[in-house]
Amino acid sequence: MTEKIDIASMLEEELADYLVSIGEKKFRASQIFSWLSKGTPISEMTNLSKDLRVKLEALTLDTLPKVELKLTSKIDGTVKYLFRLHDGEYIESVFMRYKHGNTICISSQVGCRMGCKFCASTIGGKVRDLLPGEMLGQVIAAEKDMGERISNIVMMGIGEPLDNYDNVIKFLKLVNAEGGLNIGYRHISLSTSGVVPNILRLAEEELPITLSISLHAAKDEVRDAIMPINRKWNISALLSACREYYQKTSRRISFEYTLISGKNDSVAEARALGELLKSSFRGSGAPLHVNLIRVNEVEETGFKEGSERDVQAFADTLSAMGIVATVRRRLGSDVNASCGQLRRKESKKSEE
Ligand code: SAH
């Protein structure tokens, strides 16, 4: 049997070429592309002939993630999805309602190989990369399930997007495509643990997305201990890549800083972080923005969150240095909304 084709990862023009290659009319591409972006199964694509539907079903792979579990927060309405993929793997996505529109946090890989010590997604390592259509499919499946439009995307779920570079770039083009979801690049954020060469590649792509950097420490000793990637590309290499990214793209970079009690959350560390960012971006004109996140306590990591006073003191120290510091509101705390925890539970079940 020949391998089934993943049409959900094709741009409209690629779909047109594919259709021609199987003896079909090119104009069908826009119809199919539009159906796919609504999550419609081929059998329900009513403006295609029955014969074409049967033919396409036989030739193509259905990569749309299927809702395995859906948890809705009673506190803030945040929805956590556990999706099952076509090969039986699981990933998570989180749907959040903000004043500026519905936002989805999507996964980029099944598992992760970065090894950050505080993170649940990396505990079992990386299983595989997600296909472009599987990243897009999380947005489509959530829109379909919720019956609401999603206007913003954050790539902060399971996986390291810059460790799945080509598929992520393709996904960005797919989600931005006019005949599809047509979500503007400015409404998309990509978060990375700091894969330096790919930050530099991304700067050349001319995709005006927002880059978020998971910094989490101001000193190499501290970052080395919690993020193994720092031993490959240290803080200075990372921040010089960020400076170059800003100079090329003029796009604001946001720095993520997860506060872990007793590890990286002292006022002295806030000061060191402020100094580090100011000196790294001096003269560049880059606005400096730090997003402070209370660590989500994950059973296996043993890391604890600090007190409200510690968090506030950290934020105030940065603000006093002229750096915009926001403490991220915690959404969906009753539905395991921090990514990796649900998938972890699901795979533990199957180990038992
Ligand atoms: N691999 C990418 C994107 C996925 S992680 C990255 O590292 O940026 C998304 C964000 O959640 C990162 O900032 C990550 O450091 C953070 N994170 C992971 N586990 C966490 C936890 N237990 N508590 C708080 N933040 C966490």
In the chain, CATH 1.10.150.530 sits at 7-59
Nearest Cα to 348, choosing from 305, 297, 298? 298
Q: Is the CB of 160 under 6 A from ligand 1?
A: yes
pLDDT score, position 301: 83
Q: Is the CB of 192 under 6 A from ligand 1?
A: yes
Nearest CA to ligand 1 atom 5: 156
Q: Is the CB of 193 under 6 A from ligand 1?
A: yes
> Has 92 been annotated as catalytic?
yes
Ligand 1 atom nearest the C-alpha of 163 is: 1
Q: How far apart are CA 48 and CA 52, in angstroms?
A: 6
- Cβ atoms within 10 A of the Cβ of 34, count? 15
| Ligand 1 centroid from CA 297, angstroms | 12
Q: Is the CB of 119 under 6 A from ligand 1?
A: yes
Q: What's the DSSP call for residue 225?
A: H
Which superfamily, per CATH, for 66-351? Answer: Aldolase class I (3.20.20.70)
pLDDT score, position 113: 98
In the chain, CATH 3.20.20.70 sits at 66-351
| Ligand 1 centroid from CA 247, angstroms | 26
343 has a pLDDT exceeding 90: no
State pTM to two decimals.
0.95
345 has a pLDDT exceeding 80: no
Nearest CA to ligand 1 atom 17: 119
Residue 281: both structure tokens together: 């971006």
CATH 1.10.150.530 fits 7-59, yes or no: yes
pLDDT score, position 338: 65
* Averaged pLDDT, 206-232: 97
Pairing state between β 101-105 and 90-98: antiparallel
* Averaged pLDDT, 235-239: 98
| Ligand 1 centroid from CA 240, angstroms | 21
Contacts of 282 (CB under 8 A, 6+ apart): none
pLDDT score, position 204: 97
Mean pLDDT of the chain: 95
* Averaged pLDDT, 221-227: 98
* Averaged pLDDT, 37-51: 98
| Ligand 1 centroid from CA 131, angstroms | 21
> In 3-state terms, what secondary structure has residue 337?
coil
Asked whether 284 and 248 are in contact (CB, 8 A), the reply is no
75, with CB counted inside 10 A (0-12, 13-18, 19+), is exposed
